[in-house]
Amino acid sequence: MQLYSRFLRPVLFRLGSGDAEVAHHRTIDALRLVGAAPGASTLRRLFAEDAPRTVFGLRFPNPVGLAAGMDKNGVALPGWAALGFGHVEVGTVTWHAQPGNPRPRLYRLPASQALINRMGFNNDGARALAARLRTAPVLPMPLGISIGKSKITPVENAVADYRASLVELYPYGDYFAVNVSSPNTPGLRGLQDRGLLDELLAELTGEATRLAYRGVPKPILVKIAPDLDDAAIGEVIEVCATRSVAGIIATNTTLSRDGLAPADVATGAEQGGLSGRPLARRALEVVSFVHRESAGTLPVIGVGGIGAPEDAVRLMDAGASLVQVYTGFIYAGPGLVRGISRAVRATGAAPGDR
């Protein structure tokens, strides 16, 4: 991690005159080339660390996943595999292709090891992702697909919008994350309300059962916002239990600006969701609450504030079965993935296979 932070990260952070989105796209392009190279499988043997576990019926080679948002269109999947991830979640993808919000829309807050984004679900659309995954190589780890509502779709038509994406992408994902918690699509977070969420999940879990025919439906997970209070999270848990949802991803980005370093306060005024180190405490609280309130029956993927192996261990000790990284990966580099797996294996963190 020191090699990355001393040499590679400063180069990446200077690309595009400091435009974080330029560095993002250059990283994806580089990983796409890495994944296509003949030695990609050898590289995985260097980076990967075995710490296997089974969660919601899927076998993960280690507990560390790449969070949605990094590779929205699934263009660099073998590259992420080469870096040793235990799973990758692509998207968030919407039924309709959309450009997202105007740039600039991604900001670094280095003193806080954080990011603010208001990307707005920029992606090529569910049909384009399905076409790409149709010819993608077999991955050595599970693939998750995060689905969200298209911006042009009214909230009252959201169920049909989500369902169309699920049907199109169902053959290619190992699990599906229902994103109802991004702060950057108008009206989206309202889908976390009990009535709307129940309607949405009833349709999606029912559709997954129909698509599975007589087999076992692929897992449906729900990604929630850290800004919900305990009562609202409790309602989400109840709906998930009623609709046989396989797990919860906790958490998405936050609208709060608590915990920012003084040097980042000015940039922190930008609109969008905050991720990274300032989210660590809240993510830990939400993971612990979901694990406790569900009596450990609802697997949790912990996301938020993971910048070092010990952060992931704390989330797993609090009840997370798996973790995902995004912002921490940007600041700490690929060594973070192996470091977390080693720490988890050494400490025996996490409540075990689910």
Per-residue pLDDT tens over the stretch 112-138: 999 999 999 999 999 999 999 999 999
| Positive or negative torsion for Cα 253, 182, 119, 287 | positive
Which of these, 236, 167, 224, lies nearest to 197 by C-alpha position?
A: 236
CA–chain centroid gap for 164, Å, is: 21
Confidence at residue 350, expressed as pLDDT on a 0 to 100 scale: 58
CA–chain centroid gap for 198, Å, is: 22
Active site residue ranges: 182
How far is Cα 182 from Cα 354, in angstroms, rounded to an integer? Answer: 27
Confidence at residue 1, expressed as pLDDT on a 0 to 100 scale: 64
For residue 220, what are the β-bridge partners? 176
If you average pLDDT over residues 275-288, what whole number do you get?
98
Confidence at residue 353, expressed as pLDDT on a 0 to 100 scale: 55
Q: Mind listing the domains of the chain with CATH numbers?
A: 2-347 (3.20.20.70)
The string of pLDDT tens digits covering residues 26-56 is: 999 999 998 888 877 788 887 888 999 999 9
Question: How much is the pTM?
Answer: 0.96
**69-95: string of b/e by CB count within 10 Å (b at 16+)?**
bbbbbbbbbbbbbbbbbbbbbbbbbbb
